[in-house]
Chains A and B, each alone.
Chain A
């Protein structure tokens, strides 16, 4: 068995090409860290200017949060600052304070920053989590899609920990309730940490767990935030195109595109988009997607689809499809692009010039 196990597990390995990618990523990460230490880039300075201006403009708004900033690659921070909305809603239970700091989103994605402040003397070596979350709309609809995860390697700073509440929004596809502009109640369920100690695993008083770990409750009451207005800026813009475009080996009509800081949505209909599953032209989901390039000033390439980050919805009988491309860089890290910086978008063989 030993040798069969070894032989069969030997097949689980990285290809040589991927090992090269891994080395490249290591070197790239190291270079970025070194550069960050050396000086403040112009983008960071611009961020500071934006922050200072907003401080000045919003009298009384003395707290400014950047909780969600690590979610996007370097260079996205200015767009994040310009498109987020400060929430600053706090709740304290048993000495633990939870603050909804800020939010940012579009029609497809929503992110809410969450800051946990531990009481004096709390063991910060534990990794604290919220059991679940619920978003309740004024009409009574409830949504638990998505989750609450710790943000970045620097999530813990002193006695605070940063989390991101994220959800995908698919009102056109799954009839989920749109969230932009809505007033909701956000409930973060009990706070706990994970223990891998045998004595905790065997303790029946721990509220959940498995034979591998135990969940130790820290605050067994929910943190409830009422009247949270999700009025984050909507920087999205729609451009009518109505041109024939290469798609799945034929031609279809690219009706329009929507661009916002998170990505591009292409709307197509008819032609080769009709019956594309029945006719086996789009068996593999990847083939449904399109090539996308986004250009900035002087035709500088701001984004090119390298794979991933894409979702689509299609009705193959009407041939109508919506294809959303989330901006990712070569390392698959999400990026934000200011729509005002975009000069052109290329979808397959159609290039759309963006008029200012």
Chain B
């Protein structure tokens, strides 16, 4: 891999991978580890064609697998020994992060589908393919996640959030 290729991959996908790690582990230190491990894995991996949706989906799959591997090992971190400060620093939400915190409070199986659907914009069948579960289960998890978010955020806030988002979209021109 050339330096230019590495720079392109990092520029296009590092933030996405960090967010996947953050969604899984709810803390930024593990998210940083996920990011580092994913990009080191990519060095020895044959990637799909540059810049395609297949490439993006492939890297998401690698990130999810790294998260699974890390979660298995993380289970053993009974105590923290000598602290090795992380090499990478991450900017964290500093202002109102109510919705993010509500999503992060959900169990992993819900957080994961919420991230892939609401952030990455994947449909049910694409998510099913990414995380290797049945489409019906993805739909169920999304529905249950919405229900839980409605409880966590409150009905009013939930609806208000949508209308606020709609206004924001009008102003900012988001899709």
Using CB atoms and an 8 Å cutoff, list the residues of chain A in contact with chain B: 1-9, 11-15, 18-19, 21-23, 25-27, 29-30, 33, 108-109, 127, 129, 132, 144-150, 166-168, 194, 196, 198, 211-213, 307-311, 324, 326, 328, 331-332, 334
Contacts and interface: CB of A to CB of B under 8 A. Distances in A.
B129 to A, nearest CB: 16
B130 interface: no
B40 A26 contact: yes
Closest CB pairs A-B (n = 9): A308-B85, A3-B165, A8-B100, A168-B81, A11-B93, A13-B15, A4-B99, A147-B76, A1-B161
Contacts, number: 175
A4 B6 contact: no
Q: Is the interface of A mostly helix, strand, loop or mixed?
A: mixed
A129 B165 contact: no
Nearest to A196: B68
* Residue of A11, A22, A149 ringed by the most chain B CB atoms within 10 A: A22
Given A14-B18, A127-B69, A311-B83, A22 B36 contact: yes
Contact of B164 (A4, A9, A21, A147): A4
A328 B43 contact: no
B165 A13 contact: no
Nearest to A307: B85
B153 interface: yes
B26 to A, nearest CB: 11
Interface of B: 1, 3, 6-7, 10-11, 14-15, 18-19, 22-23, 28, 31, 35-36, 39-40, 42-44, 68-69, 71-73, 75-79, 81-94, 96-100, 103, 107-109, 114-115, 118-119, 133, 137, 149, 153, 158, 161-162, 164-165, 168-169, 174
Contact of B72 (A25, A127, A211, A326): A127
Nearest to A148: B76
B73 A150 contact: yes
Nearest to B76: A147
Q: Is the interface of B mostly helix, strand, loop or mixed?
A: helix
A29 B43 contact: yes
Given A29-B43, A212-B108, A129 B35 contact: no
A168 B68 CA distance: 26
Contact of A30 (B43, B96, B114, B133): B43
A149 B100 contact: no
Contacts of A8: 93, 96-100
Contacts of A308: 83-86
A12 B91 contact: yes
Given A5-B100, A14-B14, A23-B6, A129 B89 contact: no
Given A5-B119, A109-B82, 15 more contacts: A1-B118, A1-B162, A3-B174, A4-B98, A5-B118, A9-B23, A14-B90, A15-B89, A18-B89, A127-B72, A147-B79, A212-B109, A311-B83, A332-B85, A334-B84
A27 B6 contact: yes
21 contacts: A1-B161, A4-B100, A8-B98, A9-B23, A9-B93, A9-B100, A11-B91, A12-B22, A13-B19, A13-B90, A21-B87, A22-B39, A22-B88, A25-B40, A26-B1, A30-B43, A145-B79, A147-B77, A147-B79, A213-B71, A334-B84
